[in-house]
Amino acid sequence: MTQMLWWQTGVIYQIYPRSFKDTTGNGIGDLSGVIEKLDYLSDTLGVDAIWLSPFYPSPMADFGYDVANYVDVHPMFGDLQTFDELVLQAHRRNLKVIIDLVPNHTSDQHRWFVESRASRENPKRDWYVWRDARPDGSPPNNWLSVFGGSAWEWDQATQQYYQHSFLKEQPDLNWRNPQVKEAMFDVVRFWLERGVDGFRIDVAHYIMKDPDLRDNPPNKAHEAQIHKSLGAYDSQIHLYDKGHPDAHQVYHEFRQLLDEYSHDQPRFSIGEVHIFDWPVWASYYGKNLDEIHMPFNFTLLGVKWQARVVRSLVDRLEAVLPAGAWPNYVLGNHDEPRFASHLGMEASRTAAMLLLTLRGTPTLYYGDEIGMTDVSIPVEKRQDPWGKRVPGLGRDPQRTPMQWTSGLNAGFSTADPQALWLPLSPDYQRVNVAVELNDPRSMLNLYCSLLTYRRSHLSLQTGAYQPLDKMPEDVFAYVRRAQGFPGILVVLNFASAAVEAQLPGEWVGRLVLSTHMDRGGEIDLQRLNLRAFEGLLIELDA
């Protein structure tokens, strides 16, 4: 059997540092708070890697995704010494550390852009995308910002427009300039030298645009081009303002750089690639699996929660993967509504079993393991610039503080509750780590049981995926099996009513875990009774 790597067998846990644990009493989480909770992540929960959302110096126009310095830590979160201690302590617990890399744009306060903006003759002028106005003074083309309005901002001092795919405070870098690529690769080297195990690449497919800056065609149907509507942005088909094929050469070179540092420990990359054209999405693995290790698979986000729909997505992914490519799944992140709000609490337990038993690498979002839900944020407390510019697209509800205890501020911070950067969920006194650890049937203990079983059974880590046909309409069933090891049967009822499933052929096994957390042992696999939204994990006899 081929030796599998840590990022293939492991489970990734995303931490939004602002919201995880505050150790300074200012109402904002920090890196010391992450260090404080490493034992929870490694020993209690049992994940294998943490992904840290941006912690770099930033004016926080987009809460860290507007980077003012790629090679330092914002004082709000700590300093480089704190970061080094975090890596050291994580590695002592066999936790890998993945950090966010934001290559498409910087802050407008980054020294590179300050120089670029200084004059048309500045040596760094071409580090960003500057263009003259059209004869009528309008922007160079019709490209739109994801966050609303034009993707071009007029600079009065130098009498040109600069491009920004997101906020005007986030000017896009010009990756067609070799100096930009080398400077960003130096950033990667800086963090690899500090022991970072991998990078999550923000909007990875945006870095290369059409060199001729052609207008995007209209989207006459005004249909969403990803899993959710993006408002006016959906009025165009985004052919030219992202996803240019030239990006593949960049990621080929990026992969070579990671490989240079992979002699002692494999270094890893996972790219945010919001493309729902399957072959184009899969192309980011590289023709010879020599680009991004895994482009994020977002197809389960916002999915219609029906067995046939979910099975179809899984089967299509398996079919489109290049030979040898490794799949991955995600149900939530800092940009998406929490799936417990989207699906409901009962179905979200079934979703947890799905996520942690499919073939590939799962990524969990902090708080999902305890069933955190979206929080209604009062207007005066809203923070997200996207939501302020485009009503309905705010991401504050899924970024609220982690709920650790029933005490003050859910154990997140000692600050005055009014000083928390976002308000707590009103359910924190019953939905928190401390309470759920003492409830054997809690969401948290379901996650802990699934992760413990996954870690100890090679069939779930590396085994093949075999879907079962002739199941009831509301049931998705599949077998995971590694050669020479017991097969694992997963049977998921997506319906709000009980159902009976008759498995084809002769099956013998024992029930290891129900999402209801109340039964196990011998089970009749010829007449399998599933309660509403129940998932079953069954270990098959050889």
Are the C-beta atoms of residues 451 and 512 closer than 8 Å to each other? no
* DSSP three-state, residue 315: helix
For residue 517, the one-letter residue type is M
Length reported for the chain: 542
Phi/psi for 294 (5° steps) reads -150, 125
Tokens of 538: 């069954």
Chain center to CA of 15: 10
Tokens of 453: 């079983």
Q: In angstroms, rounded to a whole number, what is the distance separating the alpha carbons of residues 499 and 473?
A: 10
For residue 113, the one-letter residue type is F
Q: Is 202 a catalytic residue?
A: yes
Q: In angstroms, rounded to a whole number, what is the distance separating the alpha carbons of residues 277 and 226?
A: 10
User: Which of 48, 197, 202, 369 is labelled catalytic?
Assistant: 202
- Write out the DSSP string of 448-517: HHHHHHHHH-HHHHH-EEEE-SS--TTEEEEEEE-TTS--EEEEEE-SSS-EEE--SS---EEEEEETTS
- Helices H, strands E: what count in the chain? 15, 19
Are the C-beta atoms of residues 320 and 278 closer than 8 Å to each other? yes
Nearest Cα residue to 454 out of 4, 5, 9, 156: 9
Tokens of 35: 């260090």
For residue 165, the one-letter residue type is S
Chain center to CA of 401: 18
Q: In angstroms, rounded to a whole number, what is the distance separating the alpha carbons of residues 355 and 185?
A: 33
User: Which of 260, 277, 473, 500 is labelled catalytic?
Assistant: 260
Tokens of 149: 């309005």
DSSP 44: I
Q: For residue 169, how many other CB atoms are within 10 A of its CB?
A: 20
Are the C-beta atoms of residues 228 and 302 closer than 8 Å to each other? yes
Measure the N-to-C terminal CA separation of the chain; round to a whole number of Å.
Answer: 19
H or E stretch covering 91: helix 80-92
Catalytic residue IDs: 202, 260
